[in-house]
Amino acid sequence: MSTTSLQIGYIERPMEAAAWPRLRSMLTPALKPGNLSWDDIEPAIAAGEMQVVAIRKERDPDLLACAVIRSALTREGEALEIVAAAGTNFREWAAWGMSALRKAARNAGMHSVQMVGRPGWRRIFPQIKMDGPVMVVDAHGR
């Protein structure tokens, strides 16, 4: 599949969207014990403190992936944090999606994209650096 046909964008008022139950169901496995729960995430989305982004093929209503993101303050400054992410056929969209999020973070003056996840993500994103349990991808490509 050509990545030029992929699109990423925010879902405005995602909890009001007809697709919210499906999005929530997709993202639920990404929420692990000890991390945030829907009791934390849904009020933050409603308040605009977290956003939902989705990736799809151009003109295809079905989503390939979705994520909950937010701004996070770190020792180095502000970072774009991926709170939870999910999708199908990740080899189709993961590298392209990370590149799009890195660009968004860079354009917003953030230093990196970060997430907590399984170590296997390092095979997909070799640029990941570990900072304790947090995986960090430099927004500026360093």
Query: pTM of the prediction?
Result: 0.88
CB 137 within 8 A of CB 108: no
- Sketch the domain layout of the chain as residue ranges: 3-138
Closest CA to 55 of 67, 65, 45: 65
Q: 32-46 pLDDT, tens per residue? A: 755 789 999 999 999
The span from the CA of 53 to the CA of 33, in Å, is 23
Q: 44-89 pLDDT, tens per residue? A: 999 999 999 999 988 787 889 999 999 999 988 999 999 999 998 8
- What superfamily would CATH give domain 3-138? Gcn5-related N-acetyltransferase (GNAT) (3.40.630.30)
CB 84 within 8 A of CB 50: no
pLDDT for residue 3: 54
Query: In 3-state terms, what secondary structure has residue 125?
Result: coil
pLDDT for residue 1: 45
Instruction: Classify the C-alpha dihedral 73-74-80-85 as positive or negative.
Output: negative
